[in-house]
Homo-oligomer: A and B are copies of this chain.
Amino acid sequence: MKEISGGICAPKGFASGGIHCGIKKGSQKKDLALIYSPTPCAAAAMFTTNIVKAASIQVCRENIDNGKLHAVIVNSGNANACTGQDGLDSARKMALLAANVLGLDKSQVAVASTGVIGVPLPIELIEKNIDDLKLSLRDDMQGHEAALEAIMTTDIRKKEISIEIEIDGKLVRIGAMAKGSGMIHPDMATMLCFITTDAAVSIDTLNEVLRNAVKKSFNRVTVDGDTSTNDIVLVMANGQALNEAINNKEHRNYEVFSSALEYVCIALAKMIAADGEGATKLLTVTVKGAFCEDTAEKLAKSVASSSLVKAACFGADANWGRVLCAMGYAKAEFSPETAGVVFRSGAGEIEVCAGGVTVLFDEVKAKEVLSQSEIEILINLKDGDGTASVWGCDLTYDYVKINGDYRS
């Protein structure tokens, strides 16, 4: 497996584009994106588990029901959530507009939205600019960059990846882009993530591979404990790599494709955590030696979600008591009296807790370790073999600033 350039346009036969249509007011930032494969794609998606679901989520679910897609249209600047029947009508129209310019049936187009909740979607702006959106489609570098820009909201960093693997002597590519910075605390699916691949994969297998990858990637990210109304991860596989279709778990190439997709998802998950609203540091919390993987995940997620742990990381304060405290209320079993905690970063590592109590440690060294932009919190338990890593970020003044006045 090697990383290549091209993002979502790296796989053969995918084009994408993005324009400014006016949903993001008072700026010329792009706010409308399109991804298109002339070849029909097997498609799979996962959606938010929030009871309050955006209209786009509901329409996307309808259209992806048969596992086949040609395109996806996405807007930023407006979540089209809590918008009632008008919102549903707009989401359906959005799919129809894209279908019409591409010569497709509307059921072949997925829809996604991200932005402010509760404001009617100005569908007329999309209608007015749909031809320009089609004209923006390219399969080269500018295509994927324009689409990537058009799905960003409070994101600062661009989040995309593309890789190449070999399957049966054929080169297979996977490209992906994501947005997400606040309201990040996935619980099944998360934020917006679009994955393209030219692998030949059956619909059922694509679904299964996606579910496994999301469980170990996006569902292990937290920025602020808020599970969004609009989360979606969508993968489209158009088969242009001409490999023998991977159509079940026993297929000899299932593992290599599955691992590659998991790699892509984890890479994007970490980018989302590092670009959490206001974040200055990427936190990786790893729990080892838990009763089982689920327990390790619960404990790690509780630590990564703790406002106190996050603020301590911002302040480079080796306050390991908060780490144990956060595990203690995770509603998962562990033995505090044998727990150990180590902080690690590019500046080295430092043990701060062993056997559940403090270890005499060098505060100056600890401060240095915790002052780096990527910090690992390693928790060693002696309860079993369960291991899991969860990604998060620090809690900063800027998180408060960004969210104190997001709408204006």
Chain A residues in the interface with B (C-beta under 8 A): 49-53, 79, 81-84, 86-87, 116-120, 182-183, 185, 187, 224-229, 305-308, 311-312, 314-315, 317, 319-322, 324-329, 333-334, 336-337, 353, 355-358, 395-397, 399-408
Contact = CB atoms under 8 A, between A and B. Distances in A.
B225 A306 contact: yes
- Copies of this chain present: 2
A408 to B, nearest CB: 7
A313 to B, nearest CB: 9
B328 A51 contact: yes
Contacts of A406: 312, 317, 319
A307 B225 contact: yes
12 contacts: A50-B328, A52-B325, A116-B321, A117-B325, A183-B308, A183-B325, A225-B306, A307-B399, A315-B403, A317-B407, A397-B400, A400-B400
B308 A224 contact: yes
Contacts of A117: 319, 321-322, 324-325
Contacts of A395: 400, 403
A81 to B, nearest CB: 7
B311 A403 contact: yes
Contact of A329 (B227, B325, B405): B227
A324 to B, nearest CB: 5
Contacts of A334: 51
